[in-house]
Every structure is written in C-alpha cells, then in structure tokens.
C-alpha cells in the first residue's frame, strides 16, 4: 500500500504548506524526486494531510448495548472519519463507576479498538446523582468524570465531585440539563414545536446548570468542561467566565453549528439531546467557534438501532451519529466557505481536545481528498448507527487514509 500525495496541503506545527508526500505503507516522508518516474505508485492530487483528529465525546455503547455499537465498529467508523483518538461516555451497563466495572470496558478496548480509546468514569454511582463514584480508584485510567446523558441535579453533589476531581487533577465533564425544566419536552421550545404541536425543551434547562456550575468551579478549583452546548446563553456565560479566568472549556457539535430547528422534519434522525435550537442560537454558536469561546468540535456520536430511530420526533431515541461526517462537513461549510481557516479546524478537531485532556503520544495522521462533491449516504457508514440529520447533504472531502500506531487503520488507497 504505497501512494504519492502530489502537491498536498500539509499541516505542520500550526501552519499549512504544500509538498509532495510519499506514503510507504506505514509513514509519510517528503518526496523531492521526479514524480514522473513513480509509475509503480498510485498518485493522488488535491489532498490534505492532517494530524489524526480527537473526539472527546462519543458513545460506543459497550458494554451493555452492543446492538447499537461496539468498540470495534465505533473505532473503525472513527478511523474512517479521520480520528485516531476518542473518549467514550459512560452511560453503559454496567456503568464505569468503580474499578471493577471500568475493567470490563478497558478489556474490550484492549481487545478490539483500532485507535486510541479512552473511557470516562461516572461522577456518581450508576449516574444516579446520589452517591459519588470511586473517582480516586479510576483516576489514572480515565479521561475525566462525567454523568453524560444525565445532569447532576444536586448542587451539593456536584461541588463534592468537583473538589475530589480537583484533588485528583482530573476534569469534570458536564452534561448540563436541569430536569425540573424539561416538562416532557423532546425538541427545542421554538417555532417548529409550536407550529406542529410538539412539547419543547427550554434553553434554560441547559444554561441554568452552566451558570450554577461556573460558581462551583470558582469554589472548587476544578478543570471544568461543558458538553455539547447549543444555546446563545451558554456561549455568553462561558465567554464571560473565561474573561474572568475561570478554568472552563466547552464543545459543540456539527449539528448545532450547521442546523437549527428550521431544518426539523417528522423524522427521528433530527432528534438529539440537546435539541436543534433557533437560528439565533445557531448564529451565536458559530460566533463562539470564530472568536474562540468554543474550544472544540465533538460529534456526540450516539448510535441507535434503526427501529429506535424510526418512531418520529416524539418517540425516537435521542441521539445521532457523526464521527464519519464531521470533517467533511467542517471543511465544506466552514473552511471552504472562508468562515474559519484549515488551521482553526485542526485546533478544534485535534489540537485543543488533546491539550485540554492531556492526551499525549502518537497522533497518527489522516489524508482527505478535497473538491469532489459527494452526498452523505448512511449506507456507507462503518458505524452500526445510520441516523444522521445530514443524510443527503453534499460534502467535498473524503477520507482516503488514516494511520495510527504505524499502521493504516482505514484506507481507500487500493
């Protein structure tokens, strides 16, 4: 498996430059000879070579829900998306709330992952919010602590968790959701919900807990990371907290950057938590991407079975897949349009996640071919999950190769 990427756009030390790059089956090197003499190699034009991406928010569903996804299928799908590292959320069965339960997941990762997979431990036992998990026992084996899928409702419990996580030098990764404000909602409490008789989820259910937690971070000194922000108020709260010197970072997903509730259809592939918000929220999310308030793009890759996503907006399971479509969407609709630079895209997808979570070691690299329009087709996904709101949208970036640990973990070169 050898190839030449002719006049490729290459990321190196924060800058993009162009070079002929030779791939020998395991590694890349600059080729300075005569390209015309390489008649035994496949030659690819209009490519970009980037460090492997890092997604700090994915759901691989194993142990407990392997019919939705497994470590094996999730990691292969990640490689197809250009990712060489992911952090897996802990809403599993059993939940990784103890060393013993975490060991089950670590064994699966060791046996079947083709890229670097780092789990989270739960904040509370069973994500119940009632008793603190064994944070100290799990600390050296996890990316941080999260009760993703459920917000920690108790202020006292969150402060206790933050103090212990700070002592262990591990981040609290917060799913911010106030259950008392949900009122049975399942899409954004906006124009579409009112026009079609759906129960809405108000924006305060997200930004309210963020506001609470910012004050708790000041008291505890913990490193605090906010999952999947979707509202304009969340962006502004985090912007102000950063200006005050609070140790806070955040992520958003491609769907909150590119879609809003005006895109909704009576289809489960548009249902996720938090939901698609208003045009005004989307505009502020994009502003946060541009001005640096938002530190990273994470996919919240959340596969479900086809049946679970076939019940319409009200009754379908919450969650969509995204690990295989993220960079093609970011390139096509943010980089190619001039909204952000390629360097900024690399910061959002690779540099910032690794820096914030202290992820060191081999990053590998990924190669995408640019410029050829292709519609997103879930039938091509390697993930078990096929439900995406981006189905049928055109993108102009396709992964050719992802290398991690000195081997090709995904390749379309042959």
Active site residues: 300
Asked whether the beta carbons of 31 and 72 are under 8 A apart, the reply is no
**Residue 169 to residues 95, 352, 400: CA-CA distances in angstroms?**
22, 18, 38
Q: Which helix (H) or strand (E) holds 20?
A: strand 15-23
Q: Which helix (H) or strand (E) holds 285?
A: helix 279-291
The candidate with the shortest Cα–Cα distance to 96, out of 63, 121, 131, is 121
The candidate with the shortest Cα–Cα distance to 337, out of 395, 398, 412, 254, is 395
What is the SS3 assignment for 381?
Answer: coil
Measured in residues, the chain has a length of 414
161-194 burial string, b = 16+ CB within 10 Å, else e?
bbebbbebebbbbbbbbbeebbeebbbbbbebbe
Helix count and strand count (H, E) for the chain: 13, 17
Residue 283, φ and ψ in degrees, nearest 5:
-65, -40
Query: Rounded to whole angstroms, how far apart are CA atoms 85 and 52?
Result: 7
C-alpha of 320 from chain center: 11
């Amino acid at each position: 498996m050898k190839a030449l990427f002719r006049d490729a756009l290459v990321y190196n030390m924060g800058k993009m430059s162009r070079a002929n790059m030779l791939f020998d089956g395991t590694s890349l090197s600059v080729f300075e000879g005569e390209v015309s003499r390489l008649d035994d190699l496949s030659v690819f034009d209009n490519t970009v070579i980037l460090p492997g991406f890092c997604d700090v928010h994915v759901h691989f569903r194993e142990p407990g829900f392997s019919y939705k996804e497994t470590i094996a299928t999730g990691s292969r799908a990640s490689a197809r998306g250009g990712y060489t590292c992911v952090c897996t959320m802990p809403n599993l069965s059993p939940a990784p709330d103890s060393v013993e339960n975490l060991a089950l997941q670590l064994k699966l990762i060791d046996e079947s992952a083709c890229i670097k997979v780092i789990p989270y431990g739960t904040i509370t036992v069973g994500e119940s919010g009632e008793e603190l998990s064994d944070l100290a026992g799990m600390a050296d084996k996890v990316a941080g602590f999260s009760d993703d899928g459920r917000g920690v409702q108790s202020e006292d419990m969150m402060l206790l968790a933050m103090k212990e996580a700070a002592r262990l030098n591990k981040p609290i990764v917060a799913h911010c959701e106030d259950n008392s404000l949900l009122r049975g909602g399942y899409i954004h409490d906006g124009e579409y919900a009112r026009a079609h008789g759906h129960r809405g989820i108000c924006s305060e259910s997200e930004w309210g807990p963020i506001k609470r937690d910012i004050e708790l971070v000041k008291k505890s000194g913990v490193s605090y990371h906010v999952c999947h922000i979707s509202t304009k108020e969340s962006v502004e709260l985090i912007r102000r907290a950063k200006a005050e010197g609070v140790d806070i970072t955040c992520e958003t997903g491609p769907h909150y950057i590119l879609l809003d509730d005006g895109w909704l259809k009576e289809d489960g592939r548009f249902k996720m938590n938090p939901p698609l918000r208003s045009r005004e929220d989307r505009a502020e999310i994009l502003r946060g991407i541009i001005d640096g308030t938002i530190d990273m793009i994470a996919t919240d890759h959340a596969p479900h079975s086809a049946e679970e996503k076939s019940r319409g907006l009200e009754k379908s399971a919450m969650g969509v897949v995204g690990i295989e479509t993220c960079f093609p969407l970011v390139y096509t609709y943010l980089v190619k349009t001039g909204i952000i630079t390629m360097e900024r895209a690399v910061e959002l997808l690779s540099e910032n996640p690794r820096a914030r979570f202290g992820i060191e070691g081999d990053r590998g690299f990924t190669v995408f071919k640019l410029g050829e329009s292709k519609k997103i087709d879930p039938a091509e996904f390697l993930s078990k999950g096929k439900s995406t709101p981006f189905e049928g949208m055109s993108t102009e970036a396709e992964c050719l190769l992802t290398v991690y640990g000195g081997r090709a973990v995904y390749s379309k070169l042959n």
